[in-house]
Amino acid sequence: MYTTQSIYTKTAFKAIKEYIQTGTSQLIENQIIPKDLLIKAACFVTLKTKKNKLRGCIGTLHPVYKNLYTEIIKNAVASAVRDYRFTPLTLNELKNIKLSVEVLYPPEEIDDLSLLDPKIYGAIISDKNGNKGVLLPDIEGIDSVEEQIKIIKRKAGIIQNSNQGLTFYRFKTEKYY
């Protein structure tokens, strides 16, 4: 069975468990907020299987809630039961899920792609039609900027080959297990 190692993943795990069992996360939402989670920050919650296969990943690029604690709870539940790529997580599956929480630094717009590095920076790409895609940093198997851009464009539904007219952002994260 997976064991959480940080206050970040403990919060995410408890929120998911409560939601799967009761259909709500009100108990954990109403607990005293740990001091480290009082900051206002965006985050992503990623769920993986024992075999390291993605099982859910949802997050925010900018803070939506009044503190990181609530941000983690909402994104954890969404990652577990609302990621359109997967069926909702079951209580039985939760025993074997590995969690990570990535807290985002504010994204910065860039106009030089040499400022990207997929091992260090996540990236956001948007076009003039409102399509937007994001990829977190340091994802296994993504070793080049070109590969990072190609995946983000595909996720965003951006079909143009050139980068003309696209807006690029980069961001760093702190990852917790």
Residue 1 pLDDT class (50, 70, 90 cuts): low
Instruction: Return d(Cα 16, Cα 9) in angstroms, integer.
Output: 10
Starting from the edge strand earliest in sequence, which strands make up the sheet with 167-171, in order? 108-110, 167-171, 122-126, 132-135
pLDDT given for residue 67 in this prediction: 98
Write out pLDDT tens, residues 120-165. 999 999 999 999 999 999 999 999 999 999 999 999 999 999 999 9
- Structure tokens that stand for 157 in this block: 């539904």
What domains can you pick out in the chain, each with its CATH number? 7-104 (3.30.700.20), 108-176 (3.30.1490.150)
